[in-house]
A and B are shown apart, each in its own frame.
Chain A
Amino acid sequence: MLKIKDLKAQVEDNQILNGINLDINAGEVHAIMGPNGSGKSTLSSVIAGREDYEVTDGAIDFDGEDLLDLDPEERALKGIFLSFQYPVEIPGVTVSNFIKTAINESRKGRGEEPMEAREMLAKMREKSALLEMDKSYLSRSLNEGFSGGEKKRNEIFQMAMLEPKLAILDETDSGLDIDALRIVANGVNKLRSKDNAVVIITHYQRLLDYIKPDYVHVLYQGKIVKSGGPELAHELEERGYDWIKAENA
């Protein structure tokens, strides 16, 4: 589904990604871990197409298409979803209006008719229930005055509404208490299928107790320096990142 080849990227002349190679297939869950500043969030931004990041070398192929040629909204239409580490506030725009616009703009972009109001409403009810969100969420301004946990839950709610092929969760676990973590993980698990894939970017093992990854990768200094199964996450939890740093010194 997603093939990243020798990807190098910079922000304002700072080289951050130094040749990433990663293959992700439908049905898989990948976890990307690593110490602060290793390039985890940069990788997610580059995949989503954020303008400030300049790709200097390499390629990203998504379902046989060169992703780097596409605008962020075109990538979204192809089924790429990013759960933001810091979701933005849009005052005066309700959660329901925002998601309605997102769904209908995506449908328009794919040449489809807008979703029927009744279907939309039913879907919103279903997905907000899945994330144990109170009904009042839908009529609040997007992320305005939301707690950290509410923002993250709202990201996963949007993911559930948009049903992406590839979901990238960028530190979705940060700022979540244990109950919210369970709810969010539960939401993600319910959305997993053989047709979609999930990339989890995290510092900690704890989210991976709830969402079981097939592969764990360690990112350090802009490169994937180690890959393994779920046991690698446990090893990192026990030993920290120092041994990784030492190995790659």
Chain B
Amino acid sequence: MSDEILDEITASDYKYGFTTDIESDKVPPGLNEEVIRMISAKKNEPEWMLEWRLDAFRIWSEMEEPEWPNVTYEKPDFQAISYYSAPKQKKELGSLDEVDPELLKTFERLGISLDEQKRLSGVAMDVVVDSVSVATTFKKTLAEKGIIFCSMSEAIQEHPELVRKHLGTIVPKRDNFYAALNSAVFTDGSFCYIPKGVRCPMELSTYFRINEAGTGQFERTLVVADARSYVSYLEGCTAPSRDENQLHAAVVELIAMDDAEIKYSTVQNWYPGDAEGKGGVFNFVTKRGLCERNAKISWTQVETGSAVTWKYPSCILKGDHSVGEFYSVAVTNKYQQADTGTKMIHLGKNTKSTIISKGISAGKSHNSYRGLVRVGARAENARNFSQCDSLLMGDQCGAHTFPYIEAQHPTAQIEHEATTSKIGEDQLFYCNQRGIGTEEAIALIVNGYCKEVLNQLPMEFAVEAQKLLEVSLEGSVG
């Protein structure tokens, strides 16, 4: 591909780079027990929650930041981050009309006006700006089915028994450095509980956005699908452009009880930094799900943003006949770095997992797939299929694959396929010859390449994801 085209593609701007002028209530930078007590007090938390956080903080204090991912970045100064930033408006919100108009404008610019969302798509949204959940829609409809869908803060107040029972059971406090940090300082997130035998009638959706300068976002999500239930959960993320690096260290825990199914989809579009690699979000996320007997967890992610991403949505296939799936598109451009993949831990008999990973690297970026398939000693007849494809644009980017396979049972069937390809001159010329311009041609080819993953996304999300792919790779071919 000619350098000119590449330059143009690499030059596209971050569409979501604006900040919103909302008064916010922010804790001074720094991290110590006092700050954690302050966060807990501001959120009016019960004693057990505070103790849980303090325990996590002590664990974290003794941990080292990991070095093994295939990324290089300047380590965040944890004492320079403000760990709590909430839009200043504390009263209860009964309807959208009560939401700060500035905030609503932000949503509109993001193209996710709540009114629209409510009316058109029937999506119930829990919107998290910085750290506090500001509006939850459709709660009533859900409540009729016994479904709980609320902010994590609210869940701690209203459903402490459920939170206490499950929080940290899938991703323990000492799991890793960032999970420990998150456990100590998480300020909000979403909680979802689907009762036995209930099929959630709508897609549940959360939109995260980092607004305040110098804040980290540490959201915590817990989804519990009780026996024979089903839920599809969507998560979208955006951050305004900032010069400095912002830290995002989230933890997501999924629990699928016997015969339950959870479909978890993410479209991640955090600010990737500018054309010189300055700024951008550090996205260090721990996502993991547990499948009981005959349960199924399916992760789908479209990752286009962040300066550095480090994330492995995983499935622990504990129950016999349980199924884990991972469908991923990760795009890196400019100076972005992504080290992402999954872990499929087969413990039960006849467990099955599928991994489809599509990496796209452009500019001077680096894109790594890292995945583990482990078949335990009792996992008779476990089966895995992995397909890891890399697409390179230009000759200054890198694609890397690190598959790890550990099989402890002789009946294990593990298949791994990997391909690396380039968008060829031939493909572009072919499209050009049919009247399709180069930029459109790239969008067409990339969308085709990602199709298996995009097909997994719910309709309205798939459209957004497709647009995002185009935006993150587009230039201004004129």
Contacts and interface: CB of A to CB of B under 8 A. Distances in A.
A128 to B, nearest CB: 17
A84 interface: yes
Contacts of A158: 434
Interface residues of A, number: 33
A105 B433 contact: no
A50 B429 contact: yes
Contact of A101 (B424, B440, B450): B440
B445 A90 contact: yes
From A48, A84, A90, A162, residue with most partner B Cβ within 10 Å: A90
B432 A92 contact: no
Contacts of A92: 447-452
A51 B447 contact: no
Interface string B417-450: 0000000111101111111111010001101111
A48 B430 CA distance: 10
A6 interface: no
A228 interface: no
Interface in A73-131: 73, 75-77, 81-82, 84, 87-88, 90-93, 97-99, 101-103, 105-106, 109
A3 B430 CA distance: 24
A84 B430 contact: yes
A141 interface: yes
A82 B429 CA distance: 11
B437 A73 contact: yes
A76 B447 contact: no
A51 B448 contact: no
A51 B425 contact: yes
B95 interface: no
B225 to A, nearest CB: 31
Contacts of B445: 90, 93
Contact of B433 (A52, A82, A109, A141): A82
A142 B447 CA distance: 13
B72 interface: no
Contact of B435 (A51, A109, A142): A109
Contact of B429 (A51, A101, A102, A103): A51
Interface of A: 48-52, 71-73, 75-77, 81-82, 84, 87-88, 90-93, 97-99, 101-103, 105-106, 109, 141-142, 158, 162
The interface size bin for chain B is 20 to 34
B435 A106 contact: yes
A88 B435 contact: no
Contact of A72 (B429, B447, B452): B429
A226 to B, nearest CB: 29
A49 B449 CA distance: 26
A40 B294 CA distance: 62
A190 B435 CA distance: 23
B430 A76 contact: no
A90 B444 contact: yes
Contact of A88 (B2, B426, B437, B440): B426
A162 B432 CA distance: 13
Contact of B447 (A48, A52, A77, A93): A93
Nearest to A107: B435
Contacts of B424: 88
Nearest to B421: A91
Contacts of B449: 91-92
A102 B436 contact: yes
A201 to B, nearest CB: 15
A77 B437 CA distance: 11
A105 B435 contact: yes
A97 B448 CA distance: 10
29 contacts: A48-B429, A48-B433, A51-B2, A52-B425, A73-B432, A73-B433, A73-B435, A73-B438, A76-B434, A81-B433, A84-B433, A88-B426, A88-B430, A90-B431, A90-B445, A90-B448, A92-B447, A92-B449, A92-B452, A93-B445, A93-B451, A102-B431, A102-B434, A102-B436, A105-B434, A105-B435, A106-B434, A109-B435, A162-B435
B425 A93 contact: no
Nearest to A83: B433
A105 B436 contact: yes
Contacts of A81: 433
Contacts of B447: 92-93
Nearest to B429: A50
Contact of B436 (A84, A88, A101): A101
